[in-house]
Amino acid sequence: MDFSELLVKRRSIRNFEDKPVPLEVIQDIINDSIKAPNAGNMQLWRFVIVNDKEWMKKISDACKQSILKGIEDNPDSGFKIYETQMKNPDFNVFYNAPALVYVVGSPKAPTLSVDTGLLAAYFMLSATTRGLGTVFVAQGAELKDPKMLETLGIPENSKIYAPIALGYPVSIPAMVARKEPKILKIVP
């Protein structure tokens, strides 16, 4: 697959085969992703791998609970538009994917959101070359239950920067068109 094809094949996948992802494949993808540029090469990112559908369901349910609580506390919450979806017991924020990688780190590290964003892009492209599909799920970062965070090995006071669900796609959707890039000026 050449690079242009890879960019088109990398789509957000929301329909996964009921087929587990070998742990070694997930580890290989993580090893590719850490080649991403990152500030000072400090590599402050940390990873939690969830490789079990039942666990994914539990995490999804906990995220939904926490999003609903957030909407209740603040009706102006940006998640308000997802309220019906969050109340649907059949909705899984990870779209029933078989695996999840949480990229976590300190919220105090000033460049970590950029570092992990770049890492996530590498991760998703690497997964695509291996026939896997991914979706970055912001809703999956809404995990607040301290017990569950502890069980998942997410260190206290750390932030979930990139929740990436992955699995084998049932199919790869066509690319959603992008707008023309707005180039403000070409100098000279």
Ligand X SMILES: Cc1cc2nc3c(=O)[nH]c(=O)nc-3n(C[C@H](O)[C@H](O)[C@H](O)COP(=O)(O)O)c2cc1C
Using a 10 angstrom Cβ sphere, with 0-12 exposed, 13-18 middle and 19 or more buried, the burial of residue 68 is: middle
| 136 touching ligand X, by CB under 6 A | yes
The nearest distance, CB 53 to ligand X, in angstroms, is: 17
The nearest distance, CB 129 to ligand X, in angstroms, is: 16
| 138 touching ligand X, by CB under 6 A | yes
Q: What is the 3-state secondary structure (H, E, C) of the chain?
A: CCHHHHHHHCCECCCECCCCCCHHHHHHHHHHHCCCCCHHHCCCCEEEEECCHHHHHHHHHHHHHHHHHHHHHCCCCHHHHHHHHHHCCCCCCCCCCCEEEEEEECCCCCCHHHHHHHHHHHHHHHHHHCCCEEEECHHHHCCCCHHHHHHCCCCCCCEEEEEEEEECECCCCCCCCCCCCCCCCCCC
The interface mask with ligand X, positions 139-158, x = CB under 6 A, is x-------------------
Nearer to ligand X, 38 or 169 (CB): 169
The nearest distance, CB 137 to ligand X, in angstroms, is: 4
| 65 touching ligand X, by CB under 6 A | no
| 64 touching ligand X, by CB under 6 A | no
**Piece in contact with ligand X (CB under 6 A), picked from 46-54, 101-109, 137-145, 148-156:** 137-145
Among residues 137, 143, 154, 160, the one that binds ligand X under rule CB under 6 A: 137
Site for ligand X in 10-39 (CB under 6 A): 11-12, 14
Tokens 């965070």 correspond to: 149
Nearer to ligand X, 60 or 139 (CB): 139
Nearer to ligand X, 112 or 137 (CB): 137
The nearest distance, CB 186 to ligand X, in angstroms, is: 26
| 176 touching ligand X, by CB under 6 A | yes
Binding site for ligand X (CB under 6 A): 11-12, 14, 135-139, 176
